Amino acid sequence: MPAAGRGIRLGPGAPKALRALSGTPMLVHAVRAMARSRAVSLVVVVAPPDGADEVRRLLDEHTGPAETSTDIVVVPGGETRQDSVRLGLAALPDDVDSVLVHDAARPLVPVETVDAVAAAVREGAPAVVPALPVSDTVKEVQVRGNGEAEPVTGTPERSRLRAVQTPQGFELKVLAAAHAQVVREGDGATDDAGMVERLGVEVVVVPGHDEAFKVTRPLDLVLAEAVLARRRA
């Protein structure tokens, strides 16, 4: 579970994974969400590099043995998400053969989504991503930035587009090979499945869920707290 990001787009404050959602750190919600799946036997939390001790303390406090029997390991993360995932993979025991990579920033993922991804991997798919159809039309542009007008270069057909979520599921040796290749070639990728695609390995999409949305901007916190309030009602 990569949880080492700063959360720049969320605005000033603690690292994103440690911010409270209805009084409980986002990371705690995310760990509970994964631990709820019977497919998950171990959660490796990749903490902010200077915050591993605090994360360990928080998890001991909120996810003690009374609450979950899932093992939780905490390791310090890296500069980029990709580095953090690689550091998390390095902490897995030798007997693990499949892995789910889940953003701490998607704290409300329903257990059905976790189970669906895990089941597809168990049934033999080397790489599985949950995703939803996109609701906005998407344009490709010539990037200018600085608020300048950007010329449109194309409009991909919306019905063929999917917005990808996590957990993404992999045969561990496939994901490890993808990370090793990216380190060798020294260029980035925005998600784990994208790195696996470059290896020429087939990636399949299974249905995602609205509640697996990523908390990225301040408005997402409002949505997340509303979802939690509805669940408690």
Residues in CB range of 232: below 8 A, 6 or more apart = none
Residues in CB range of 197: below 8 A, 6 or more apart = 127, 203
Number of residues that bind ligand CTP (CB under 6 A): 22
Please state the closest distance from residue 64 (CB atom) to ligand CTP, in A.
23
Closest to ligand CTP by CB, 162 or 214 = 214
- Cα(101)–Cα(119) distance, integer angstroms: 14
What separation in angstroms does the CA of 187 have from each of 82, 101, 157, 165? 10, 20, 28, 22
Closest to ligand CTP by CB, 6 or 38 = 6
Give me the count of residues in the chain.
233
- Cα(177)–Cα(185) distance, integer angstroms: 12
Cβ neighbour number for residue 62 with a 10 Å cutoff: 16
Closest to ligand CTP by CB, 188 or 207 = 188
Closest to Mg ion by CB, 76 or 110 = 76
Among 100, 105, 108, 118, binds ligand CTP (CB under 6 A): 105
Cβ neighbour number for residue 37 with a 10 Å cutoff: 21
16 binds, among Mg ion, ligand CTP, none (CB under 5 to 8 A by kind): ligand CTP
Closest to ligand CTP by CB, 119 or 164 = 164
Backbone angles phi, psi at 25, to 5 degrees: -55, 140
The answer to whether 99 contacts ligand CTP (rule: CB under 6 A) is no
Please state the closest distance from residue 155 (CB atom) to ligand CTP, in A.
26
What separation in angstroms does the CA of 96 have from each of 126, 130, 192, 212? 14, 22, 18, 25
Report strand pairing: 98-101 vs 71-76. Answer: unpaired
Window 2-21: contact mask with Mg ion (x via CB under 5 A):
---x----------------
Binding to ligand CTP (CB under 6 A): which residues in 56-95? 77-81, 84
Closest to Mg ion by CB, 63 or 102 = 102
Please state the closest distance from residue 139 (CB atom) to ligand CTP, in A.
22
Which residues of this protein are in contact with ligand CTP, per CB under 6 A? 2-9, 16-17, 46, 77-81, 84, 103-105, 214, 216
Residues at the site binding Mg ion, with contacts judged by CB under 5 A: 5
